[in-house]
Amino acid sequence: MNLADNHLLDTVINSSPIGICIVNADNFIVEKVNDKFGQLHGNPNDLIAGKSFDDLFPKKNVLDKKIISDVVKNKETLYADEINLILKINDRIKETKCSPVYVPIFDNSDIVVKVAIWMIENAPSKNEAESQTKEDAIIEKERKRTNALLNEIPTGIAILSGKDFIFESANPMYQSLVPSRTLMGKPFLDALPELRGSELEKALKTVFEDGVSLSFNDDLVPFSDLESGEPEERYFSYRLIPRFDAEGSVDGIFIFTSEVTHVLNNKLGLDRTSNNLNQIINMLPASVVIIRYDELIVEMINDSNLAYWKKTRDEVVGRPFLEILPDLADQPFAGQLRRVMQTGEIIDIKESPVLFTEPDGTIRETFVDYTYQPLTGLDGKRDGVLVMSFEITDRVQARRQLEEYANQLSIAYDQLSILNNKLSKSEARFKFLIEKAPVAIGVLRGKEFIIESANNKILEVWGKPETIIGLTLAEALPEIKDQPFLGYLDDVFTTGKPFHANEIMAMLMHEDELKEIFFNVVYQPIADVNGNIADILVVAVDVTEQVNSRKMVEKSEAYFKMLADLVPAKISNALPTGEVTFLNKKWLEFAGMNFEDMRNFGYQQMMHPDEIAKFQTGLAAAAKSGIPHISEMRFKNSEGKYIWHLNIASPILDENGVISMWVGSTTDIQWLKEEEQRKNDFIGMVSHELKTPLTSVNTYLQLLLRKAEKTDDNFLKQAYIQSLKQVKHMTDMINGFLDVSRLESAKIRIEKSEFEVSDLFKEIMLDYELQYSTHKIILDSSSSLRINADRLKIIQVLNNLVGNAVKYSENGSTVQISYEQIDKNIRVIVRDNGMGIKPENIKRLFERYYRVEQDSKIAGFGIGLYLSAEIIFAHGGKIWAESEIGKGSVFYFELKLTL
Ligand code: ADP
């Protein structure tokens, strides 16, 4: 920047906050004055410029011509005594004090050609005894300017003055960290009493007493809620920097701070829940909501989206979108949602503003990147939209603030350069502030990008010492040679357009180690008067930590996917609606499709038609009870072949007990099934082979019994009767096995006929009395009821229930049989007073080969109840049991009556 340039000088002088007047040393004609000077003089400046000094200042007690002559002669700056001025500003009279400084301006041959007069306004002092020195006045002025600048910086900044740490100023960002607290003019510990005795208080004292700067990262600051007094867990990174007065002693403290609670919580939360898929999804930085039907009903929403809308789940789920957020009615979202449902297109929009009206009537401006994807319902029709959005308000605002800040700085920088020599002390303070600012700031000169200034933060980010100032950027940071930054700077330099980027990555050398650093950055060109770019101001905020913690979330999602791919089962994930959101590699390989194809094709399409209905009722029950639905079912593979699987569909509940998603694990059990088939074939074959000899044994025994009956040999008779019982028992068992093996290959065959139930019971009761002489078998009912059923198979069921009742109860106890009409059904009840069954075993009784584990060795194979259930189901009836351990069991079945 060419400071000698007249035009530039004009600009700088005019925008300077200090009154400036330049007088020709030869003829005392006033050549230049700025607005501020005009104000101090009390006349509009056009009245002043071009006039002679005598005309303007007739009274010597204001400005003195003689002093100008002295300065011309002595070639030295002169600080004149303070003067009183009466000003008229907006028709109000104001009294002020000024300290004029007379500064010689030399030509090339070192002759004073002009004298510049700086009118430095002093703050009025209440008490003459406290009257400030000229230096103090400058400092005071500078403080004001500093405060104005502080308001623009996107970090909480406060200045505490004196040993009581009185809040002298706090920028809006700082105030927003402790809303509803009065800070200004109050001692730190009165404004924030809960911090008495805290580390922060100790640190303030140390900084004040020792004059050192202190930095703290991720520190717990024990704030508490103003109303309830409840402690809050809030973490901050902050820096405390001493402020020195003219004598060099500490007279105050700068606090730079930013809250990191959110970032830390992200990290902690991540550690706690990396295994919990549900929470991972809730932790995803994306907001997710599902909206259905023309009325735009919110069906499902994740925590992140609730937080963004500032609503609770109850206020939202099941209600129309525009009723929840009526202020979005005149924004484009509802229209877009309906369009997606109608046309099936996918909408993907970046940096869209979304305006919410807060309860207090203020407008909350947010920005989001969002996508709308169409969803189809169970009937295959498009009826919903999956909305995924990322709130980027902070990013957009940070960028805007950064741009503004850069702009402010570039103006301040212009002013600073011109005031350079004259106000060295004051400038040092300003520079000090820039140096210690937590935002990285640097100035690059010329097209070689010579580092003209670099504050502490930028040196920290670059990982370089102060000695790089004066080098070119390429010399100072040789590692960026193949990175795009020099190119960006070149563009800014040639086009004059500022460059800004968010979360841009640089590899920078920090003590022999190449480090990955992310930052938001603005390159602001600074032009000279001719409009040529002379410098580039670099303002950057290090966002490495935020980026890394977000990446960790992304990584853990990838980690989940990787794990899911390593598991030997097929894993799927679905929304509570059934919409599939994830299928692992095993699933995709099995189906021979990619994710989108398989999702669109539909998980249900792969199921065996015979199993879909049962699966759906099972799922509905699981959704109600929260208990996983386990079933054996067939899925079609890529060759169109159905393969048996063990399918477990687990509803995952959130903390309110509401299903947040389904996780499915599906394991190939085809080989097991085949094995079982072979076993059944074997049993079937063996049983068949055994039946033939048993039939002849039975016939021979009958003959022998008849012969023995004709003799008096009672022992022989009893022995044949017992043998016949055992043969019958064996035949029943073998028939059972045969039935099972037949069941495997085909459905059970039912041959129905209509018959009277009371007749059937009369007939079997005779048998039971003979067969079970050890127990009292009682029939309690006699009403006549007719059913249409397979008579033999129903007898088989009763035999089994009564047989079990006898088998699992003490000799001498009673087995009670009864039946009754319930609506249009007959209910048959078999009750015993035996050992009973534990509740957890009851639901498994009807499974094949299931036997309750028990101490007493009671023979059996666990197929009786299985066959009974299959028979009752084949009749369209139902069967169940109730029992109390130690007291006895009751078995029920129901069949339709013929009415
Ligand atoms: P099993 O041949 O083992 O009796 P079932 O299929 O008839 O086979 O019965 C399955 C299991 O149910 C039995 O092993 C037994 O543990 C239990 N069970 C059946 N009926 C009763 C009953 N009346 N009292 C107690 N336990 C019973």
Percent share of the chain, pLDDT over 90: 24
Listed by start position, the domains of the chain span 3-134, 153-259, 297-405, 439-548, 567-668, 673-742, 749-896
- Residue in 437, 448, 491 with CA at minimum distance from that of residue 470: 448
Strand 440-445 with 450-454, pairing:
antiparallel
Taking the C-alpha atoms of 612, 617, 620 and 621 in order, what is their torsion angle to the nearest 10 degrees?
-140
CA of 892 to the centre of ligand 1 (A): 14
DSSP 478: G
| 9-13, 125-129, 313-317, 774-778: range with lowest mean pLDDT | 125-129
The pLDDT assigned to 696 comes to: 82
Check residues 64 and 640 and name the one with the higher pLDDT: 640
When mean pLDDT is compared over 160-169, 292-301, 397-406, the highest value belongs to 160-169
**Top-confidence residue, 8 or 238:** 238
For residue 177, how far is the Cα from the chain centroid?
A: 22
* CA atoms of 485 and 504, how far apart (whole Å): 10
What's the CATH fold of domain 297-405?
A: Beta-Lactamase (3.30.450)
Mean pLDDT of the chain, nearest integer: 80
Residue 380: pLDDT over 90? no
| Mean of pLDDT values over 7-19 | 62
Question: Which of 804, 852, 890 has the most ligand 1 atoms within 8 A of CB, as the residue to mutate?
Answer: 804
Give 869 Cα–ligand 1 centroid separation in angstroms: 13
Contact 155, 199 (CB under 8 A): no
Write the residue with the smallest CA distance to atom 19 of ligand 1. Answer: 804
Spatial contact of 600 and 583, defined as CB atoms under 8 Å apart: no
pLDDT at 127: 43
Maximum distance among all Cα pairs of the chain, rounded to whole angstroms: 166
pLDDT digits (tens, 9 = 90+) for 461-488: 999 999 999 999 999 999 999 999 999 9
Q: How deeply is 121 buried, as exposed, middle or buried, from its count of CB atoms within 10 A (0-12, 13-18, 19+)?
A: buried
N-term to C-term CA, the chain: 108
The identity of residue 517, as a single letter, is I
Residues 6+ away with beta carbon under 8 Å from 398? 154, 502, 520, 541
Q: Residues with Cβ < 8 Å from 280, sequence gap 6 or more?
A: 273, 274, 553, 556, 557, 560
Per-residue pLDDT at 420 exceeds 70: no
Mean pLDDT of 430-442: 66
Q: Ligand 1 mean position to 418 CA, how many Å?
A: 101
- pLDDT the model gives residue 435: 65
From ligand 1's centre to the CA of 719, what distance in Å? 29
How far apart CA 98 and CA 122 sit, in angstroms, is 5
Q: Which atom of ligand 1 is nearest to the CA of 862?
A: 8
Assess whether pLDDT exceeds 50 at residue 723: yes
Using H for helix, E for strand and C for coil, what is the string for 168-190? EEECHHHHHHCCCCCCCCCEHHH
Which CB contacts under 8 angstroms, 24+ apart, belong to 870-873? 870/743, 870/748, 871/748, 871/750, 871/790, 871/793, 871/794, 871/796, 871/797, 872/797
Ligand 1: distance of its center to the CA of 887 in Å? 15
User: What are 884's two structure tokens?
Assistant: 């109390």
CATH of 749-896, one of 1.10.10.10, 3.90.1150.10, 3.30.565.10, 3.40.630.30: 3.30.565.10
Supply the residue whose CA is at minimum distance from atom 18 of ligand 1.
804
Mean pLDDT of 602-627: 88
Q: Which residue's CA is the closest to the ligand 1 atom numbered 16?
A: 852
Q: pLDDT tens digits, residue range 564-593?
A: 666 667 888 888 888 888 888 889 999 998
CA of 374 to the centre of ligand 1 (A): 53
Nearest CA to 599 out of 613, 588, 589 is that of 588
pLDDT for 303: 81
Return the CATH fold of 153-259.
Beta-Lactamase (3.30.450)
Query: Which ligand 1 atom is the nearest neighbour of the CA of 860?
Result: 2
**CA–centroid distance, residue 845 to ligand 1 (Å):** 7
What's the average model confidence in pLDDT over 691-695? 80
Q: State the Cα torsion 338-344-346-349 to the nearest 10°.
A: -20
Name the β-bridge partners of 563: none
| Single-letter amino acid, residue 620 | A
Task: Decide: 535 and 411 in contact? Cβ < 8 Å.
Answer: no
| Strand blocks (E) in 319-360 | 347-357
Tokens matching residue 235? 């973490």
Q: Could you tell me which of 527, 468, 521, 469 has the C-alpha nearest to residue 493?
A: 527
Torsion angle, CA of 185/189/190/191, rounded to 10 degrees?
70
Homologous superfamily assigned to 439-548 = PAS domain (3.30.450.20)
Indicate the pLDDT class of residue 154, thresholds 50, 70 and 90: very low
CATH 3.30.450.40 for domain 567-668, yes or no, is no
Query: Long-range CB contacts (< 8 A, 24+ apart) of 708-713?
Result: none
Is 3-134 a domain of CATH 3.60.15.10?
Answer: no
Q: Give ligand 1 pocket residues (Cβ under 6 A).
A: 800, 804-805, 808, 832, 834-835, 837, 845, 850-852, 860-866, 889
pLDDT tens for each residue of 543-566: 887 787 677 666 656 656 665 666
Greater confidence, 38 or 850? 850
739-773, pLDDT tens digit by residue? 776 666 556 778 899 999 999 999 899 888 878 88
Instruction: Give me 523's structure tokens.
Output: 């390159």
CB atoms within 10 A of CB 251: 17
Do 567-668 and 439-548 fall under one CATH topology?
Answer: yes
